[in-house]
Amino acid sequence: MSIRPRARVHLSSIAENWRLYDRLSGPGGAGAVVKADAYGHGAAPVSRALAGAGCTSFFVAYAFEGEEVRRAVGPGPVIHVFSGFSPEEADVCRAAVLTPVLNSLENIDAWLASGADLPFALHVDTGMNRLGLRLEDLAEARRRLNGREPVLLISHLACADDPASGMNQAQSHAFAEACAQFPGVATSFANSAGHGLSPEMRRGLTRPGIGLYGGGAGPTRPEGLKPGMTLEAAILQVRTARAGESVGYGATARRKRDTLLATVGLGYGDGFLRSAGNSGFAYLGETCCPIVGRVSMDLISLDVSAAAPLAKQGAWVEFIGAKADLERQAAAAGTLGYELTTGLGARVERIYED
């Protein structure tokens, strides 16, 4: 068996997570955000599984991502492109039947100049100050569109993982004001965390992202989410570091007692973060084993003293999964689950299950 690090992607679990968000959604149901290669899980197989579960609306960041999803899901579902419309991509959007999300007056002008024969969505900025039309731009947007209606009006919550934040209600009021200017147009507001807020936040089509893959933290995370992947690495060598000896680059971890170490084949060259050195962990069987020393390009050292009977060359340890919770691992590395899964590189073999 290969000793290459592997991510076992649980397609049925991702589909079940989508069904959970769909039940939590209002009448508009749930779409699925599959940008960034489905958050590192594989856009084509994940999209295909979600379409099989009943998902009919997908969201990507770029047109080339939309092309891949279209090939996977076939002609039926709607595929929205968050980053807007580029004249250079007009042919791609037409061929793959993609729906650009227009984010500015300039985007609208480019879309009109292209022939305006594509369906489009409009993005309204209600407080993020990233992409999107300001409320004061909407009257001018309507004038330039000259009767052409978007198929979807979207905005994005900034603080949905904090239900006490005043931003949520302020954005909800701003979005309601925008929607009033486009009566009858379908809407989309809630992200993964937004499903845990008030029903008004779940108006229209919802857009779960990280939650589909078992990530997200805080009080708005729904019960019952399952891990979208299990990230595993093989033990390459087992050795004992004696008391007083150090481990890894920079000698950042000096042993106070004899320690059984397992060197495993995973590192920042695979996308596992260097910041997890001396703070992250992995599971060998049912035992949590701390990372000792720095994460290097190809290798990580684990203290497997508490799991000595299982510490054998060729044994697999879990860095993300049912035991090694994604957000707990991310917190140990000083980041979020998004970065851990989207950062996994091509050296990590994806194995698609179910």
Residue 140 sits in a domain whose CATH number is 3.20.20.10
Residues 150 and 74 in one domain: yes
In CATH, what number is assigned to the domain containing residue 310? 2.40.37.10
Does the structure show a pLDDT above 80 at 34? yes
Q: Give the largest CA-CA distance in the chain.
A: 77
Q: What percent of the chain has pLDDT over 70?
A: 100
pLDDT band at 6 (very low <50, low <70, confident <90, very high): very high
- Asked if the structure places residue 310 within a domain, the reply is yes
- Asked if the structure places residue 4 within a domain, the reply is no
Give pLDDT tens digits for 292-309: 999 999 999 999 999 999
Is 249 among the residues known to form the active site? Answer: yes
Contacts (Cβ under 8 Å, ≥6 apart) of 212? 14, 17, 18, 21, 32, 33, 39, 50, 192, 228
| Token pair belonging to 190 | 């809630």
Nearest to 58 by CA among 204, 201, 179, 208: 208
Beta bridge partners of 246: 254
Residues 70 and 142 in one domain: yes
pLDDT attached to residue 91? 92
pLDDT band at 218 (very low <50, low <70, confident <90, very high): confident
The residue among 165, 180, 213 that closes a domain is 213
Residues 320 and 178 in one domain: no
Residues 204 and 236 in one domain: no
pLDDT attached to residue 1? 67
Does the structure show a pLDDT above 80 at 116? no
Is 39 among the residues known to form the active site? Answer: no
Does the structure show a pLDDT above 90 at 162? yes
Residue 91: phi and psi, rounded to 5, are: -65, -40
Is the sign of the CA dihedral 231, 30, 49, 90 positive or negative?
negative
Beta bridge partners of 353: 10
Count other C-beta atoms under 10 Å from residue 181's C-beta: 14
Give pLDDT tens digits for 47-82: 999 999 999 999 999 999 999 999 999 999 999 999
pTM of the predicted model as reported, rounded to 2 decimal places? 0.96
Give pLDDT tens digits for 226-270: 999 999 999 999 999 999 999 999 999 999 999 999 999 999 999
- Asked if the structure places residue 2 within a domain, the reply is no
pLDDT attached to residue 66? 98
Cβ contact 288:317 at 8 Å: no
Does the structure show a pLDDT above 70 at 84? yes
* Edge-to-edge strand ranges of the sheet holding 152-154: 32-33, 57-60, 78-81, 98-102, 121-123, 152-154, 187-188
Catalytic residue among 21, 39, 249, 283: 249
**How many Cα atoms sit within 13 Å of 309 on the Cβ side?**
3
- Asked if the structure places residue 219 within a domain, the reply is no
Residues 51 and 129 in one domain: yes
- Asked if the structure places residue 218 within a domain, the reply is no
Beta bridge partners of 352: 9
Nearest to 93 by CA among 69, 124, 128: 69
Cβ contact 81:93 at 8 Å: yes
Residues 154 and 289 in one domain: no
pLDDT attached to residue 244? 96
Does the structure show a pLDDT above 80 at 349? yes
Does the structure show a pLDDT above 70 at 83? yes
Does the structure show a pLDDT above 90 at 181? yes
Structural domain containing residue 304: 229-353
Residue whose pair of structure tokens reads 């001018």 in the numeric block: 140
Burial of 99 (0-12, 13-18, 19+ CB in 10 A): buried
Residues 150 and 271 in one domain: no
The residue among 167, 183, 213 that closes a domain is 213
- Asked if the structure places residue 1 within a domain, the reply is no
The residue among 213, 238, 265 that closes a domain is 213
Residues 62 and 199 in one domain: yes
- Asked if the structure places residue 147 within a domain, the reply is yes
Give pLDDT tens digits for 306-319: 999 999 999 999 99
- Asked if the structure places residue 206 within a domain, the reply is yes
In angstroms, the CA 260 to CA 241 distance is: 6
Residues 237 and 196 in one domain: no
Residues 60 and 176 in one domain: yes
Total structural domains within the chain: 2
Residues 171 and 263 in one domain: no
Residues 148 and 237 in one domain: no
Task: Average the pLDDT over 205-215 and give the result.
Answer: 98
Average pLDDT, rounded, for the chain: 96
Catalytic residue among 21, 35, 213, 323: 35
